[in-house]
Amino acid sequence: MSGSPGPAARAAASPGAGDLLAQLDPEQRAAADAPLGPVCILAGAGTGKTRTITHRIAHMVVDRGVGPGQILAVSFTTRAAGELRGRLRAMGVPGVQARTFHSAALRQLQHFWPAVAGGPLPRLESSKIPNMVRAAGRLRLSPDRAELRDLTAEVEWAKASLVAPADYARLAAAGGRETATPAQTVARLYAAYEEVKREAGVVDMEDLLLLTAAMIEEHDWVATEVRSRYRHLVVDEYQDVNALQQRVLEAWLGERDSLCVVGDPHQTIYSFAGASPRYLLDFPRRHPDAAVVRLVRDYRSTPQVVGLANRLVQAAPGTRLVAAAPDGPPPVWLECDSEADEAAAVASRIRTLIARGTPASRIAVLYRINAQSEAYEAAIGAAGVAYLVRGGEKFFARPEVVAALRLLRAALRSADTDRPAGLADTVADILGALHWRADRPSAGSGAEREQWENLAALHRLAVDLAARSPQAGLAEFVAELGDRVTHEHQPTVEGVTLSTLHAAKGLEWDAVFLVGLTDGTLPLVHAKTAEQIAEERRLLYVGVTRARTHLVLSWALARADGRRSRRPSRFLDDLRPARRGLVPAAGGRGGPGAGGLKGPGSPAGTGTTGGAGGAAGRQGATEETGAGGGPGRGRSAVRCRVCGRALTGAQARIGRCEGCPGDVDAALYERLRAWRAATARELHMPVFVIFTDATLQALAECRPRSVPELVRIPGIGQAKLDRYGQAVLDLVAGRTPPTPTHEPS
């Protein structure tokens, strides 16, 4: 391209191949150094795929003489595209076009359409809903909001799958699509929607891709210009490509073969929207000369998390992830009586993690559907912890952020020179007009804390820019914010992330809570075919692999405090320690120390399910923690009910590490002490023979409400359970226990 520096000049100004590729592991280097032709990179979760493709692109520019403007890198989100551009700029390789499919298509249409069609490009409608409502009206249909959302999703699937209205009913049936509205009615609505759009002279997001593909396919001069501009293509997340996107990609590529695709078939989670992993899996067949490289070294997660992920998808040899990170704590399995109990237990653990030094922004709660977020918003907010809901209002659209951007731009335009020295202090001074101060507020509502965190995120961006570029001033900062707004590249807000599993893809946190893991929710009750169930399993895999160190998997046996009719997700059957024999289930059948434990209220000979490790949180939550070793022998090790570490000595008697925070119910502790004293007097024995102070403290922290929960507490064996179990359960429930009787002689 004219105006581009030559290879020698670029090499002089940028790192050489040796420096670039020396930073990669052997598999990453093989992918980055593969010839300029078809390349397929099968990149498992956490294996550094973005690092690999950015080094490949930089290597192409620096060492192979490719002009940066000749490379088009395509991703699926503006955030991912922005990250690609940012990394390449930092490597001294600006100018590479990194865009989403839709962004690249829109740019090409805006350039070519006036000449192709003899008029301006039709207006883009970002939402289908208004035109869907008009189309439904023409058919005398009155769908409610939920039905309208489902019908819109069906039209999107059809267009992404290149299915015309006339073919919808037949192909939807062949694809196992299930809709509340008859397929023939959906087809008629689809046709009416297309008619409404044509009459209004507007296009939707799928039309951008359809028009781009048709324009290149039907006009040779357009194809020649596009293909001469973009000579090398890179496609990220290729497992999520749908038929329409593949058609556009083939139009861009033409007869050439300089195409590098990156993806992970285990992370295909958008089949419901038309995505298909077959384009990734069939790539070597379509391109017999392709270089195929598999990245398996997981640099993100601990061996404990990686091992669970491998078992979840039953990874075959050669496809299993290999953990490169050091050991961490075992995954925690949390079973609760109700959804409210589950949310409270999760909030309690989040507070513990934050108290032990994990920033709130490095913690996430992930769930299957948006409706699950409400309980966690309430519980986490009640715990005094800031949070943000991913997929809600966009960061740069929040009122306080909009106001801050307006103030920053106004300050840049003003002639005021009476400002603090340094960019960070200048920005803090400007934000002060919104009553923001650098000191975190110790009180205030959840909304007020969220507003403070949002403005604090802007201030941290200024601090980061000043650290990178000490000479940067307000002009550079405002320019960076403008770029972030354009590409929806939001800063990190110091709060716990609440997100659906789908929205969490591509992200990672130090601690991840996977919640609501029951059959009917994951997998969804609507998932019935083998492929639909397999996709739900892959969705859980995506959730597991978001965790760097701490992973908690939880479920509730009842929706509220009603009948415990739910069962844990079937995907956990072969993973939970109790089922794999890693840690004997307390009270489980056949396990050492379990042997049909029973007590008041338990039928004779029945065992209990659930795991080892002590009660977690309150309200009847129980937990299991993987031991990280072979089959358990004898009684399982006592583990801290807060952090999961193995305990010995006095700490084992308490059931908690000395440094982990407790949550003692003081009133219950006093009731237990009074009952113990009365019982000791009646039975003529020392109080410690009944229960030690450590056991009373553990009871007051865990508040067991059932026999299985009671026997998980250190210091309570079969004899103590038989003698005092019912009395303890009565005390926890606030009832008066029966009068103690003398021990048999």
137 in the same domain as 97: no
Please write the tens of the pLDDT for every residue from 235-253: 999 999 999 999 999 999 9
Domain assignment present for 618? no
Question: What is the structure's pLDDT at 640?
Answer: 66
Has 324 been labeled as part of a binding site? Answer: no
pLDDT at 623 over 60: no
pLDDT at 7 over 60: no
Domain assignment present for 608? no
DSSP state of 518: B
Convert 584-609 to b/e letters by CB count within 10 Å (16 or more is b): bbbbbeebebbeebbbeebeeeebbb
497 in the same domain as 484: no
**Domain total in the chain:** 5
Question: What is the structure's pLDDT at 418?
Answer: 64
Has 384 been labeled as part of a binding site? Answer: no
Please write the tens of the pLDDT for every residue from 281-303: 999 999 999 999 999 999 999 99
| Mean pLDDT score, 103-109 | 94
pLDDT at 266 over 80: yes
174 in the same domain as 44: no
| Mean pLDDT score, 497-510 | 92
Name every residue whose Cβ is closer than 8 Å to that of residue 677 and which is 6 or more positions away in sequence.
687
pLDDT at 226 over 90: yes
CA 438: distance to chain centroid? 30
Has 662 been labeled as part of a binding site? Answer: no
254 in helix, strand or coil?
coil
Has 95 been labeled as part of a binding site? Answer: no
For residues 428 and 731, give the distance between their C-alpha atoms in angstroms, rounded to a whole number: 54
Q: What percentage of the chain carries pLDDT values higher than 90?
A: 40
Of 179, 203, 227, the residue that ends a domain is 203
Position 610 confidence tier, pLDDT thresholds 50, 70, 90:
very low
517 in the same domain as 416: no
Has 438 been labeled as part of a binding site? Answer: no
Position 620 confidence tier, pLDDT thresholds 50, 70, 90:
very low
Question: What is the structure's pLDDT at 28?
Answer: 93
pTM (two decimals): 0.66
Q: Is the separation of the CB atoms in 586 and 612 below 8 Å?
A: yes
Residue 48 sits in a domain of what CATH number?
Answer: 3.40.50.300
Q: Which range, 245-259, 600-614, 653-667, has the best average confidence (pLDDT)?
A: 245-259
Please write the tens of the pLDDT for every residue from 142-182: 888 878 888 998 999 999 999 999 999 988 888 778 777 88
740 in the same domain as 649: yes
Class of residue 115 by CB neighbours under 10 A (exposed 0-12, middle 13-18, buried 19+): exposed
- Residue type at 139 in one-letter notation: L
Residue 698 sits in a domain of what CATH number?
Answer: 1.10.150.80
132 in the same domain as 107: no
Question: What is the structure's pLDDT at 678?
Answer: 87
Has 741 been labeled as part of a binding site? Answer: no
Of 153, 175, 203, the residue that ends a domain is 203
Q: Which range, 97-111, 369-383, 588-602, has the best average confidence (pLDDT)?
A: 97-111
Least confident stretch, 66-70, 353-357, 438-442, 497-501: 438-442
Of 457, 488, 519, the residue that ends a domain is 488
Domain assignment present for 213? yes
The dihedral built from the CA positions of residue 55, 56, 60 and 64, taken in this order, carries a sign that is positive
Has 44 been labeled as part of a binding site? Answer: yes
Range of the domain at 130: 126-203
Domain assignment present for 26? yes
731 in the same domain as 684: yes
Has 610 been labeled as part of a binding site? Answer: no
Position 740 confidence tier, pLDDT thresholds 50, 70, 90:
low
